[in-house]
Structure 1
Amino acid sequence: MNGITVAGTYLPQARIARSEIAKAHAWAISALKGKSRGQRSAAAWDEDAITMAVESSRALLSSGVDIDQCVFASTSHPYIDRSSATIAATALGLADDVITSDAATSRRAATSALIQALRSDSNTLLLSGEKRIAKPGSWAEIVWGDAGAAVLVSNASPQAQCLGWHSRNEDCPDFYTATGFHPYQGEERWIKEQLLSGIATPTIRKAIEKAGVNAADITWAVLPDPSPGCEKALAKELGLNATLLTQEIVANAGDLGSSHPLFGLALALERAKVGDTILVASFGNGCDALIFKVESLATHASADAQLQGGSAGSYMPFINSRGLFDIDCGPRAERVDKTALSVHARYQRDITSFTGGKISESGAVQFPKSPTALDNAAATPAQYIDVCLASEQASVVSYTADYLTYTPQPPFCFGLVQFKNGARVAMEYVDVPSEGLEVGDQLEMRFRIKHIDRERGYRHYFWKAAPVKSNNGEQN
């Protein structure tokens, strides 16, 4: 059976204090005050499930494993008919013969896909991202969070080996979202007393039995917690002495939907010692439970730092960026952002994976690959050698914060970026601190939405430049 070779995570920079959300709705919904502790992660307007999943998986590609298939799990895919996995695979520069598929419509989407990946002989990159839109003032708005998480599943030097798993499907409508409607949740006591006890507990017990371990000996646990107290109640009912991770994630980032179990698994792997056992369970139209044994220490760490990092965001920009608050942005916002699909198809691999080129090994790197090369006017486009700029180090050459140009989250920040390999590209800046950027500041690339065609729903993806953060979240 395959194992977990490496795991990665991504949380957007902004955090919205739940007390701020509760305060905004206190005039009408005083009950939200009871859920106002902690904070939730909040994706920017140019982030969605795909961009966050891509960011969570970029570091995983350095493992040297040849990927056979790419699976994308989410309950908030941006498209009904356009493959999220294919967009992500292109952004990551995977070969065009990698099998791509999407998993959806269940909070168990990621764990169900994980079980299938573990059972297969293929090297699988499993991605998950969530940016779920909830009605203002709802329990979901205050409890949920946005995130991306990924695992590379293979038999190449696994960091964690699966000892056993069990899955149960049952159409229990504890929570659902119908097409065109907002999320709806059943009564919390019913979920806790009936569904979790009747479905999750026996499923997890069966997985523990299959793994051949004692419940009391499990070291780390990532359990479902659809309503307050469920995690502790499940742990008590199962006889666990493990360190529970779910409420820590919920308090600092929120309930991350289908990404939650993968994020929790990555967090556990970062903190675990060799020989530790990890229980991962998810709940939604049934239950999945998996038991892992840690074989080696994590070589890639991101979840812990991201969970403790971030910067304070505001509620009004948050709901505006999600299309829940129709603000009048004036005539400058009336532009047409229709993408020429035939032109985009012609250059989509270079655009989506941010691939430039050079005519010779010692030639000048440029983006895009123009018909006339910068250092060889006689060269043809077919002669270009591909150079990926997405992972290249870069720095600020110029910086402008424009309050006149329309952007959903002003100001519009842009400038000239100098790459270490010599390329220079005019780019948009994101995650810019309030004091702005200085010439020479170090940059890294972020996969984002360039613009959205509001009339047709088409999203044009590209890369933007962001200041490099240290492990504690401070700008370098």
Structure 2
Amino acid sequence: MRGILALGAHLPHRRLDRSTIAAVAGGGGGKGTRSVAGFDEDATTLAVEAARATLRGHRGPAPTALWFSTTTPTYADKTNATAIHAALRLPGSCAAADFAGAARSSVAALRAALAGGGPTLVVAGDVRPGLPGSPDEAAAGDGGAALLVGDAADGAPVLAELIGAAARTEEFLDRWRAPGDARTRQWEERFGETRYVPLGLAAVTAALDDAGLAAADVDRVIVASPHARAARSTVRRLGLAADVVADDLSTTVGNPGATQPLLLLVAALEAAAPGEVIALLSLADGADVLLFRATAAVADHQSARPVAEQVAAGRDVAYPTYLRWRGLLPTEPPRRPEPARPSASAAARTADWKFGIVASEDRTSGSVHMPPARVAMGGGAIDDMEARPMAEVAGTVVTSTIDRLAYSPSPPIVFAGVDFDGGGRLPIELTDCDADEVAIGTRVEMTFRRLFTADGIANYFWKARPQRAADGSVTTAASAAAG
């Protein structure tokens, strides 16, 4: 039995209220909110966070392959998946490759993983572009999602088994973006509708035949598409009851491109009961349908951060701030020299620290060194260290400051000294917070981010973000001890 072994998603902390767009852009906007990646997030960092959530509770073998899908890659002539591979500290024998360029790529990666092989991690991340006031700007969203695919013999129970699949492909022009363009263009909507609806209906019929099921046997239908009108028309033509169609999160998160099919599948499986049949229909440059049946194991599954919880936990971002983060509103930069481009050789020498935040622990004294060191701070032993991964270790703020002078794409910088549980101290930048939310005793967790980009090179490292309760409030050492 091959199917989904683990799942996870990551939604950025910030939400843009669409009703605030028109007052600034002179038009556009709408109702509801959309997720907004922070100034230090991109498709790669979103994918890393989703993959971390997926692998956090996995007890089986490490993935033997990692497929990364995005429509907004950081690099065009370099494999982006290798940075995700490094941040997750996967074995060197694990293949990593990009499935990039179109919204259909994530479903293609998922189908390739389901076709066979060892445990395969399918990850998607997107930061969707859109000009100010455009429909794409309002309708889009940012986010990451990941699925670990494998067999029942891969050391973990299958949460949902694949029971049927079908695809329909046809060449036609619907949406496109030339390399280097900041916007996606779209042909007249009615034309796309006339192409997608027949393809979707044919794919659904073929997938049901492949599974030996009737339409009435399907408990939940997920429809993902960058063409919202075609998606609605297909749902109507299928004659589906309203309670069968899954929420596409368009009014709260928006459409995160290649991430959308995986994100909606993660959300559906988090709420699924054993035995439920879930159909994923993706309309993007054709039609793909995957049919899954939830197993008994899904009842015991607990996501690290469920999608519904992340949707509810978002915090507002002002529209001008969003424009500045996207580089669409030029503002006065910090009056400090811009950083030099990162060194490839230095990054290679310190890859475990830079991408995996692996500290060193003195075998004699147990003291933790951040960054890793060869000489122990206690006793002076040399090269008597063992690796101490810190990505999943929480910490407590012991001091903090607001730096308005240092270079930052979004000043000011909130900087803190953090004591990590079990040892280790590090001065580190904080993110996903307002300055007045941080105080001595604030509990924080690590998150993979982009510090800056120079000469086209993204400088990735780790930051800390406040831990939050279900209501979004910041957790402190005192509240954690009391609760």
Which TM-score bucket, shorter chain as reference?
A: over 0.9
The answer to whether structure 1 residue 106 and structure 2 residue 112 are counterparts is no
| Change in CA separation of 1:361 and 1:151 when aligned onto 2, cut-off 3 Å | farther
The answer to whether structure 1 residue 69 and structure 2 residue 65 are counterparts is yes
CA distance in 2, matches of 1:436, 1:228: 38
CA distance in 1, matches of 2:364, 2:255: 48
Query: Is the Cα contact below 8 Å between 1:221 and 1:278 reproduced in 2?
Result: yes
Matches within 5 A, 1:207-222: 207-222=207-222
Match of 2:348 in 1: 345
1:240 Cα offset (Å): 2.5
Matches within 5 A, 1:132-281: 132-155=128-151, 156-181=156-181, 182-192=183-193, 194-241=194-241, 243-247=244-248, 249-281=249-281
CA distance in 2, matches of 1:330, 1:114: 43
1:362 Cα offset (Å): 4.8
Equivalent of residue 42 in structure 1, options 3, 15, 36: 36
CA distance in 2, matches of 1:273, 1:224: 21
Match of 1:423 in 2: 424
CA distance in 1, matches of 2:131, 2:108: 28
CA distance in 1, matches of 2:362, 2:405: 39
Q: Percent identity at matched positions? A: 30
- The secondary structure found in structure 2 opposite 1:114 is helix
Q: Spell out, residue by residue over 1:201-229, the C-alpha distance to the aligned partner (whole angstroms, 9 max, x if none).
A: 21122112212222133221211343444
CA distance in 1, matches of 2:108, 2:365: 47
Q: Spell out, residue by residue over 1:102-160, the C-alpha distance to the aligned partner (whole angstroms, 9 max, x if none).
A: 10112111111111111112100111000122222221111100000000111231100
Question: Could you state the TM-score of these two structures normalised by the residue count of structure 1?
Answer: 0.93
1:361 Cα offset (Å): 6.5
CA distance in 2, matches of 1:365, 1:253: 40
- The secondary structure found in structure 1 opposite 2:281 is strand
1:79 Cα offset (Å): 0.3
Match of 2:479 in 1: none
Query: Is the Cα contact below 8 Å between 2:102 and 2:258 reproduced in 1?
Result: yes
The answer to whether structure 1 residue 390 and structure 2 residue 384 are counterparts is no
CA distance in 2, matches of 1:223, 1:64: 31
1:430 Cα offset (Å): 0.6
Kindly provide the amino acid, as one letter, of the partner of residue 10 in structure 1.
H
CA distance in 2, matches of 1:173, 1:246: 27
- The secondary structure found in structure 2 opposite 1:343 is helix
The answer to whether structure 1 residue 315 and structure 2 residue 319 are counterparts is yes
- The secondary structure found in structure 1 opposite 2:226 is coil
Question: Could you state the TM-score of these two structures normalised by the residue count of structure 2?
Answer: 0.92
- The secondary structure found in structure 2 opposite 1:250 is coil
Equivalent of residue 53 in structure 1, options 39, 47, 62: 47
Kindly provide the amino acid, as one letter, of the partner of residue 8 in structure 1.
G
1:16 Cα offset (Å): 0.5
CA distance in 1, matches of 2:149, 2:108: 13
1:434 Cα offset (Å): 5.0
CA distance in 1, matches of 2:230, 2:220: 16
CA RMSD of aligned residues (A): 1.7
CA distance in 2, matches of 1:138, 1:245: 26
- The secondary structure found in structure 2 opposite 1:7 is strand
CA distance in 2, matches of 1:75, 1:225: 13
Match of 2:74 in 1: 78
- The secondary structure found in structure 2 opposite 1:22 is helix
The answer to whether structure 1 residue 302 and structure 2 residue 302 are counterparts is no
Query: Is the Cα contact below 8 Å between 1:70 and 1:125 reproduced in 2?
Result: yes
Kindly provide the amino acid, as one letter, of the partner of residue 123 in structure 1.
P
1:433 Cα offset (Å): 3.2
Query: Is the Cα contact below 8 Å between 2:399 and 2:440 reproduced in 1?
Result: yes
The answer to whether structure 1 residue 123 and structure 2 residue 119 are counterparts is yes
Kindly provide the amino acid, as one letter, of the partner of residue 278 in structure 2.
I
Moved more, 296-305 or 52-61: 296-305
Give aligned pairs, total. Answer: 463
Query: Is the Cα contact below 8 Å between 2:127 and 2:143 reproduced in 1?
Result: yes
Unaligned runs of 5+ in 2: 476-483
- The secondary structure found in structure 2 opposite 1:100 is strand
CA distance in 2, matches of 1:388, 1:117: 28
CA distance in 1, matches of 2:84, 2:130: 25
Query: Is the Cα contact below 8 Å between 1:2 and 1:117 reproduced in 2?
Result: no
- The secondary structure found in structure 1 opposite 2:368 is coil
- The secondary structure found in structure 1 opposite 2:144 is strand
Match of 2:480 in 1: none
CA distance in 2, matches of 1:314, 1:412: 18
- The secondary structure found in structure 1 opposite 2:164 is strand
Match of 2:362 in 1: 359
